[in-house]
Amino acid sequence: MAKESGGCHVLLDRVPLKYPGMAPWEIWISESQERMTLAVPEERVGAFMDLMKKREVKATVIGTFTDTGRCVVEYNGKTVMDVDLDFLHDGLPKKHLITKPPAAIPSDPVPACPDRLDDLLLVMLGRKNICSKEFISTQYDHTVQGGHVLGPVQGSGRVQAVATLTKVVPGSMKGVGLSQGLFPSYTELDPYRMAIAAIDAAIRGLVATGIPMETIALLDNFCWCSSDDPERLWQLKRAALGCRDGAVGFGTPYISGKDSMFNDFSGFDADSNPVKVSVLPTLLISSIGVHPDVATAVSMDAKFDGDLVYVVGETGEELGGSEYLAHLGVRGGVVPALDIEAAKARYERMTDAIEKKIVASAFPVTHGGLLVALAKAAIAGRVGMDLAIPGGMRPDCYLFSESLGRLIVTVAPSDREAFEEIFGDDAHLLGRVGGTVFRVSAGEKTLIEQPITAMETAYKAPFGGY
C-alpha cells in the first residue's frame, strides 16, 4: 500500500498483540490472520472509528502513509527501521537458478486386457481420486445467499460434479460457475502437458454447464518443491510454459494465483538415515465464468430412458499418469496432449447446443477416463445405460484413457438430428440410457454388465462411514 503513496510511517507499539513480549521485528513480520489493513483519509478517521466501535470491531490507527520515499518504523519512540522504499520493493538481488531435465521415466508394459471389465469398473469407482467425497461437500454451506443452481453434488444418485453454478444477483438470471483441474500424477512424466490438462479440465467443466469460453478466467495455484533443485525447477519452468500456452490458446486470462514453494521435508528415517521427501509438484487451475441464463444450465446426471449417449471429442491411447495405470502399478506411458484449437471449436459448439436446449446432460471426461465419466453420469441419474464401444484399440485403453477435450453428453431422441448437425463427426454415439443395468459391449462381446445400484455402492463405499 505504501508503494502507492510513496512511503509510510508505522508506530509498531500501537499494533494490538495477542500476547506480550514480542520483539519489534516479530510484530513487523507476524502473519497472524483475521486482520486487515485499511487506508482511511485523515478527516474520516473519526467517523470510521465510530462505526468500528458501533460494530464492536477492534480498529487501531498504526501510522500514516507518506510521500517521503522511505518506510519508517518506530517502536516506543525509537526508530527501528528506516529503509528506502525502492530498496524494500525491488532491492533483492536477482538470483541465478539452474534447471535440468530429470531422467525419463521408463514405460512398463501394460498387462493384457481382462475379458470382462466388471471388477475393474467397481475398483476404479472406489479409487480415492474418483470415489464420492460427498461427506465433505455437505459440510460446506453451499446454499447461503440463496444462489444455489448446480451444487457440488448432483442428481438423485448424488454424484460429485466438477463444476458448480451460483446466482449471485437475485434479480438476474446470470450465474457464476466455478470449476477446477488438477493432475499432479502427470507432473513427473510431463509437467507441460500436466498444466495444459489442468487448464483444459477447468475450462471444460464450466463449458459442460453452458458457460461460454469467452467469459472464463483462470487462477493458477502452485504447490511445489525446492526451486534450488535443478530438476524440480525444470519441472516448474515447463509447467509455467504450459500455463502460458494453455491460457493464451484458450483466451482465458489469469485473474489471480498463488504459490507455495519448498514443500520438502528433510530429516531421518527410523534407522537414522537422512531422507528427503518432496510433495508431488502440484498445479491447481481454478476457473470462473459467467452463465448467461442459468435456466438453460445443464447438470451432469443422465435423465430419461431412451436418451442417446455420446462422447464428443477424440480418444487416444493416453494412459500416462492415469488412474488406470496407477491402479495397475504400471509406470510411464504417454501423458494426454491437447489440440487446443480443436478443443475450442468443440466447446463453442457445446455452448451453442446448450443454448439451443438440446443437451439433457453433459459431463467432462477426466480422472478414470470415459468409463468412469459414463458410470458417474449413470449413477447420478440412477439410470442404466447400454453402450457399445468401437474397435481399433484395447477396450481397457479406450475406456480408461484420459485423453483431454472430451465430454459425455446425453440427448433426447427427438434432438438427435439437431445435435449431430452441430457436432458432425466429432460426436460418437455410444448407446442409450435406460433400465437399471450398466452394460458395455465391444462387438459381440460383453465387457461389463453391472446393476447401477452396485456401482453406486462401489462409488460411495470408501468414505461411506464419514
Partner 1 sequence: MAGTYTTRTTAKALIMSGYGINSEMETQEALMRAGMASDIVHINDLIAGEKALSDYRLMVFPGGFSYGDDTGAGNAYANRVRNNLWSDVKEFLAGDNLVLGICNGFQILANLGLVPAFDQDRPREIALMPNRKGVLECRFVTLKPAAENLWTKGITHLYCPVSHGEGNFSCSEETLNRIEREGMVAFRYCRDDLSPAGGEYPYNPNGSLADIAGITSADGRVLGLMPHPERAMEFVNLYDWPTRKERLRREGKPLPTESMNMQFFRNIVAYFGE
Residues 6+ apart with CB under 8 A from 229: 278
127 vs 303, which CB is nearer to partner 1? 303
Sheet holding 427-433, edge to edge: 361-364, 407-411, 308-312, 427-433, 385-388, 437-442, 445-451
Q: Which of 37, 272, 273, 414 binds partner 1 (CB under 8 A)?
A: 414
Q: Which of 303, 327, 331, 428 binds partner 1 (CB under 8 A)?
A: 303
Q: Which of 48, 65, 304, 463 binds partner 1 (CB under 8 A)?
A: 304
Please list the residues that pair with 218 across neighbouring strands.
Answer: 254, 287
CB of 121 to partner 1, least distance (A): 25
Is 144 among the residues that bind partner 1 (CB under 8 A)? yes
Q: Residue type for 378, please?
A: A
Helix or strand or coil: residue 241? helix
Cell numbers given for 313: 471429442
Tell me the pairing of strands 254-260 and 217-223: parallel
Is 106 among the residues that bind partner 1 (CB under 8 A)? no
Is 463 among the residues that bind partner 1 (CB under 8 A)? no
Please list the residues that pair with 82 across neighbouring strands.
Answer: 72
Binding mask 344-373 for partner 1 (x = CB under 8 A): -------------x--xx------------
Q: Which of 70, 167, 349, 376 binds partner 1 (CB under 8 A)?
A: 167
CA distance 456 to 437: 12
CA distance 40 to 80: 25
Binding residues among 37-96 for partner 1 as defined by CB under 8 A: 54-56
Q: Which stretch binds partner 1 (CB under 8 A): 88-96, 165-173, 236-244, 400-408?
A: 165-173
Is 301 among the residues that bind partner 1 (CB under 8 A)? yes
CB of 459 to partner 1, least distance (A): 17
- The torsion defined by the Cα of 82, 83, 85 and 88, in degrees rounded to 10, comes to -130
Is 141 among the residues that bind partner 1 (CB under 8 A)? yes
Is 297 among the residues that bind partner 1 (CB under 8 A)? yes
CB of 206 to partner 1, least distance (A): 16
CA distance 33 to 215: 33
157 vs 320, which CB is nearer to partner 1? 157
CA-nearest of 251, 254, 228 to 240 is 254
CB of 397 to partner 1, least distance (A): 33
DSSP state of 177: E
Is 298 among the residues that bind partner 1 (CB under 8 A)? yes
Is 145 among the residues that bind partner 1 (CB under 8 A)? yes
CA distance 203 to 288: 8
Is 384 among the residues that bind partner 1 (CB under 8 A)? no
Q: Which of 30, 32, 79, 156 binds partner 1 (CB under 8 A)?
A: 156
CA distance 211 to 149: 13
Helix or strand or coil: residue 44? helix
Residues binding partner 1 (CB under 8 A):
54-56, 135, 137-151, 154-156, 167, 170-172, 294-295, 297-299, 301, 303-304, 357, 360-361, 412, 414
